[in-house]
Amino acid sequence: MHGNTFEDLLAIMRRLRKECPWDREQTNDSIKGHTIEEAYEVVEAIDHRNDDELRHELGDLLLHVVFHSQIAEDEGRFTISDVLRAITEKLVRRHPHIFSDTHVENSSQVMRNWEQIKMDEGRDSVIDGVPRSLPALLKAYRMQDKASKIGFDWEHHDQVWEKVREELEELHDAVQRRNGDDMEEEIGDLLFSLVNYSRFIKVNPEDALRRTIDKFDRRFRYVERRLRDEGRKPEEATLEEMDVWWNEAKRGEV
């Protein structure tokens, strides 16, 4: 069976669940880690500006939506139709400026309405929707962003920068005291304040850090290649030698 419609994908998934031993054994718990990996691979394809890669990774992610839904259907919990109905109803409900008579002036008002609608749906807090399993940096960003939607925020980025400097000084003091618990807490406070500053200057800290990690990856691999060309291992080189090649890699990126 081959096709290119959503119904074809559903039919293939149902058959796999019946006839493939591996697919039949899977549960929502057993594949949830793979689902997270697929989401990150989508992000990586976007970062690389690779449309062919993105097309494939979106398909893999869609497969997981269908897979999770089929598992639930097999267990009599819900179906893919229930999933589609829920997201359709949610989109209509949370866009009253499109599907009803609510008036908005800009995207900020859209987001404020969105958060209020979620509260009206029964949430206890505006930060309830931030998944506990998010990476800490991204989680901090999302929590701060959600809190800002209801006015819990600084007024100007200079105020946030002063908070960063304050947290940096407190970290320095904790290090001078050699207090392990305080150092950990102050590192956390400093990172949290940097995330907040990033948000204020409209930089996603997760994207920024991932970009820096990729840069480190490229430059360090270049250093390793230069050492291999000389028949040497990194531990056989001095820091000064490696730094020369690091700067050479840096210049080559300009």
Q: Pick from 73, 91, 109: which residue ends a domain?
A: 91
- pLDDT over threshold 70, residue 1: no
- CB 129 within 8 Å of CB 194: no
Decide if 118 is inside a domain.
no
- pLDDT over threshold 90, residue 91: yes
Q: Does one domain contain both 74 and 30?
A: yes
**pLDDT number for residue 3:** 67
Spatial separation of the C-alpha atoms in residues 192 and 102, rounded to whole Å: 35
pLDDT classification of 114: cutoffs 50, 70, 90: confident
Q: What are phi and psi of 29, to 5 degrees?
A: -65, -40
**Could you identify the residue written with the tokens 């689902």?**
35
- pLDDT over threshold 80, residue 2: no
Identify the residue with better confidence: 115 or 53.
53
Decide if 227 is inside a domain.
yes
Q: Does one domain contain both 21 and 79?
A: yes
Per-residue tokens: 165 = 């400097």
| pLDDT per position as a tens digit, 198-214 | 999 999 999 999 999 99
Helix extents (H) in the chain: 6-19, 21-25, 28-47, 51-74, 80-93, 96-99, 107-120, 136-148, 157-177, 180-200, 205-229, 239-252
Sign of the dihedral through C-alpha 220, 223, 227, 230: positive
Average pLDDT over residues 215-221: 94
Decide if 1 is inside a domain.
no
Q: Residue 29 is part of a domain; what is its CATH number?
A: 1.10.287.1080
Per-residue tokens: 254 = 């300009």
**pLDDT number for residue 226:** 93
Q: Does one domain contain both 196 and 216?
A: no
Spatial separation of the C-alpha atoms in residues 142 and 140, rounded to whole Å: 6
Decide if 233 is inside a domain.
yes
Decide if 43 is inside a domain.
yes
Number of domains in the chain: 3
Decide if 220 is inside a domain.
yes
Domain containing 67: what range?
Answer: 6-91
Residues in the chain: 254
- pLDDT over threshold 60, residue 24: yes
**pTM for this one?**
0.72
Q: Max Cα separation, the chain?
A: 72
